[in-house]
Amino acid sequence: MSPKVIIAGGGIGGMAAALALHRAGVDVTVFERAPAFTEVGAGMSLWPNATHVLQSLGVLDHVIARGETVTQFNLQRPDGTTISTIPMDGFSTPSLCIHRADLHEVLRRSLHSIRLEANQTVQSYRQSGGGVTAKFASGLEAWADGLIGADGINSAIRSQIHGTTSPIYRGYCIWRGIAPDTGMTVRGHISETWGAGKRFGIMPMGQGRICWYATRNGPPSQPDGPRGRKSEIQELFQDWHQPIPELIAATKPADIIKSDARDRKPLRQWGEGCVTLLGDAAHPITPNVGQGACMAIEDAACLAKLLPGAKDVATAFRAYEGMRRTRTAFVARQARRIGAIGQWENPWIVKARDCITRLVLSRSPDVQLNAVYAYKI
């Protein structure tokens, strides 16, 4: 008989896991805290390590149709000069930029025969007799052979196993915005511009939209400046190369989201018994290599490979954690390191950084890239 599994959290990780497990013959139910199954209004990148999984799940064509294929990455200075250019079209599956809600919708539509329960906040669980009962704020209790905590960076499931601790703030905030595409960028080209203590990234994401992000060093949880969020970003990047000022100017204030760059130290053990973690609940990653959701998608594929043939759910979950720990810790470390270097402030160190980065990327871009992006689960 196929195992019955509860997934707590219907974000990109939870939905990818539901799809992968369903396709592998597992009986899945997803419980989501929010009143509806949807995603925040921001763009994201999906790299070949994740599009490879989406292809194997049969949804890649739908994802490609909703997003924009990436063919080149340009690293630039604030005056517009190039530090490095990296072709991104040499992988067996494409790199993409897409609106998060579009990716989420493609996953959700593929799950029409699965129970998706909104408005259900998981609070805790109790293990007994080879199974697990998840308890919800509504008073509902649901039993299954296994429970997957895919409930994000402040996961309740993770807190029950490992105690409640705050994520680690990495010293900078990130704004994300969406502007209409008025021909300001080259299709398929994404870019990041490195300044001193701040960065700006541009990602055309199809359907007439351009997603951008900006960072700045500072203390955590900073409120918006007195003249508002958009004006603050405009002042920070007003003398940077086009189309940066143009893109910010074309963005509606309501389309700008702000968050802090946060992650956590890698866990030695993720779950216990027939409970495990997936995505940000297990291994939140700073956004610098665009891999947080990609790692959750890889997690989903790994679980779906191991669970159906396993002796029992607990054995499958420990094997999954064993396979994923090193990989996710490596990618999180890379992201943290690139973020720290990109946020350097001293003008002399910044000049040296740009020269060294140019040299390193011109000699061995494939080695740097392949370790993260060409991985196949």
Ligand X SMILES: Cc1cc2nc3c(=O)[nH]c(=O)nc-3n(C[C@H](O)[C@H](O)[C@H](O)COP(=O)(O)OP(=O)(O)OC[C@H]3O[C@@H](n4cnc5c(N)ncnc54)[C@H](O)[C@@H]3O)c2cc1C
CB of 199 to ligand X, least distance (A): 12
Select from 18, 28, 44, 256 the one that contacts ligand X (CB under 6 A): 44
DSSP category for residue 218: -
Contact range with ligand X by CB under 6 A, out of 88-96, 273-281, 326-334, 339-347: 273-281
Select from 296, 302, 313, 377 the one that contacts ligand X (CB under 6 A): 296
CB of 137 to ligand X, least distance (A): 8
Q: Is residue 33 within the footprint of ligand X (CB under 6 A)? A: yes
Q: Is residue 48 within the footprint of ligand X (CB under 6 A)? A: no
DSSP category for residue 272: B
Q: Is residue 88 within the footprint of ligand X (CB under 6 A)? A: no
Q: Is residue 287 within the footprint of ligand X (CB under 6 A)? A: yes
Residue 15 is encoded by which pair of tokens?
Answer: 């939905």
CA dist 347 → 199, 344, 352 (Å): 14, 8, 9
Using an 8 Å Cβ cutoff, are 173 and 218 in contact?
yes
Using an 8 Å Cβ cutoff, are 6 and 155 in contact?
no
Q: Is residue 292 within the footprint of ligand X (CB under 6 A)? A: yes
Select from 18, 22, 28, 32 the one that contacts ligand X (CB under 6 A): 32
Q: Is residue 52 within the footprint of ligand X (CB under 6 A)? A: no
Q: Is residue 45 within the footprint of ligand X (CB under 6 A)? A: yes
Q: Is residue 108 within the footprint of ligand X (CB under 6 A)? A: no
Site string for ligand X, 134-163 (x = CB under 6 A): ----------------xxx---x-------
Concatenating the DSSP letter of every residue in 259-301 gives: EEEEE-PPPS---BTTEEE-GGGT----GGGS-HHHHHHHHHH
Concatenating the DSSP letter of every residue in 45-79 gives: EE-HHHHHHHHHTT-HHHHHHHSEEE-EEEEE-TT
Q: Is residue 13 within the footprint of ligand X (CB under 6 A)? A: yes
Residue 254 is encoded by which pair of tokens?
Answer: 């309501």
Strand partners, 98: 44
Residue 365 is encoded by which pair of tokens?
Answer: 């871009």
Contact range with ligand X by CB under 6 A, out of 248-256, 263-271, 279-287, 315-323: 279-287
Residue 278 is encoded by which pair of tokens?
Answer: 């997936």
Q: How far apart are CA 144 and CA 307, in angstroms?
A: 14
Residues comprising the chain, all counted: 377
CB of 318 to ligand X, least distance (A): 20
Contact range with ligand X by CB under 6 A, out of 164-172, 245-253, 289-297, 320-328: 289-297
Contact range with ligand X by CB under 6 A, out of 9-17, 186-194, 304-312, 316-324: 9-17
Q: Is residue 280 within the footprint of ligand X (CB under 6 A)? A: yes
Q: How far apart are CA 92 and CA 217, in angstroms?
A: 37
Select from 5, 7, 21, 31 the one that contacts ligand X (CB under 6 A): 31
Q: How many CB atoms lie within 10 A of CB 88?
A: 20
Q: Is residue 34 within the footprint of ligand X (CB under 6 A)? A: yes
How deeply is 211 buried, as exposed, middle or buried, from its count of CB atoms within 10 A (0-12, 13-18, 19+)? buried
Select from 10, 67, 94, 204 the one that contacts ligand X (CB under 6 A): 10
Residue 2 or residue 217: which is nearer to ligand X going by CB? Answer: 217
How many Å from the N-terminal Cα to the C-terminal Cα in the chain?
Answer: 26
Residue 20 is encoded by which pair of tokens?
Answer: 């992968």
Q: Is residue 14 within the footprint of ligand X (CB under 6 A)? A: yes
Residues near ligand X (CB under 6 A): 8-14, 31-34, 44-45, 121-122, 150-152, 156, 174, 176, 259, 279-281, 287, 290-294, 296
